[in-house]
Structure 1
């Protein structure tokens, strides 16, 4: 039995492999009457396809008489996408993970769900593999989502802010636009005071039987209002330092005609 995995057009190099097809090639095949390459095969939606593309291709397949070929179409893409409240992303296309699930004590998993129009894939997609920064962002979303869903029941502040203290990443193999899973293991969680939760965790991106990326992270969750006041103070201090540096540099630089037309130094 033949199998075709359909990936987004952006993965055109990967789509040259046997058993892989780009989305545009799929649509063309569905329009072909007679002996289509799809007849008698199983077609599965792969990475990079958005919900609209997945639904459009399925409706088109059913209308063209390919119900048997598409009976496993959603095998890899039926996981629920993590929402804004978990992944901290306003646009669905920028969410990279499914809703995390809890397994044994301290272990949580989610599926990697790529959208070809994700913010990290629009301007840097080379070769056949998934870029490392995409996997790193997926891990970042994973620790946000796991913490939001499972670890803040006793945390009082309604509006909270995540602060990343430390992140170490290693890449051990290429990841390709195929199914992948993120495994999150909680190492330590403590609440030293009512407005602060501190977390240490490790994550791995698995594809097939092997991890391809590992991440170690330390972060804390804080009261957004309290942190906002501190952030504003630090921002003002940083700006003041830079303005002072500019004043010193501009006093040492001879004025040109162009500089005379700009704002006077006294306004800095």
Structure 2
């Protein structure tokens, strides 16, 4: 009996599931309720992008209750997603807005981590256009990457830091589809001191060895209190300048 591999994506990527060996998470939920005797092959499901972890747990619970009926369904990948923690160093409060998994150091300056998109994330809250993943999702994933890697590997998880982006350039090479993808973070230059740290890095997003997007970024990291005080001063100056630039109705009237 052959083992058929099928990708699972979030419901918002339903257009991508047409005419391919791809199911949405809702379609998989229905499949777990079908008796094994009418499923021709054993199926191994591989998690792509957009799958909600709560839906994953729901499908796994259904499968566990009905396992005697659908034991031809291999849901190990879904089980891994449901038990995998998102990256804890992205400065995001809502877990579904985190777009990356845990980082691994694979070289002196190189780190890798998986792209893990939840379809509830803020950048997919409105609608999904077409079958590929929108570019702004990749930009945000890259932004989360340089924050997460810096905080975990240079500041031992200290999140009392403020990240200032000095420059950012993004190049999109190919469409990235809602399938497994990797992010590669390579530090080009670094200058780490007690009160601030400066970095230049290249971030690449790949899928099946295909380069899909590249970000060149430079940023500076300060203790939060340093930037908070400076930001407060600048905010006051900006408010006064804006008010000074606004003419009162009486002043306008006298000019007529």
Give me the TM-score of the superposition, normalised by structure 1. 0.85
Q: How does 1:105-124 map to 2 (within 5 A)?
A: 105-124=108-127
* 2:133 corresponds to 1:130: yes
Q: Could you say which structure has the larger radius of gyration?
A: 1
What count of residue pairs does the alignment treat as equivalent? Answer: 249
Q: Are the equivalent residues in 2 in contact too, given 1:3–1:43 (CA < 8 A)?
A: yes
3-state SS, counterpart of residue 13 of structure 1: helix
Structure 1: runs of 5+ lacking an equivalent: 255-268
CA distance in 2 between counterparts of 1:68 and 1:102 reads 37
TM-score normalised according to structure 2 size? 0.89
Q: Distance in 2 between matches of 1:160 and 1:253?
A: 49
Q: Does 1:43 align with 2:48?
A: no
CA shift digits 1:63-106 (9 cap, x unpaired): 223344225333873653102xx111011100000111101110
Asked if residue 194 in structure 1 is aligned to residue 194 in structure 2, the reply is yes
- Cα distance in 1 for residues equivalent to 2:189 and 2:248: 47
Displacement over 6 Å in runs of 4+: none
Where 1:228 maps in the other structure, the secondary structure is helix
Segment drifting more, 179-188 vs 50-59: 50-59
Contact between 1:109 and 1:181, CA under 8 Å: does it hold in 2? yes
CA RMSD of aligned residues (A): 2.3
Alignment of 1:75-114 (within 5 A): 77=81, 79-83=84-88, 86-114=89-117
Which residue number corresponds to residue 169 of structure 1? 170
Give me the whole-angstrom Cα distance separating, in 1, the residues matched to 2:123 and 2:142.
14
Instruction: Find the aligned partners of 2:159 and 2:49 in 1 and give their Cα distance.
Output: 35
Checking the alignment, whether the CA contact within 8 Å between 1:159 and 1:224 is kept in structure 2 is yes
Distance verdict in 2 for CA 1:53–1:195, change over 3 Å: same
CA contact (8 A) 1:29 1:36 kept: no
Q: In the TM superposition, what whole-angstrom CA distance separates every residue of 1:218-251 from its partner, at most 9, and x where no partner exists?
A: 0011121121111111111111111111136773
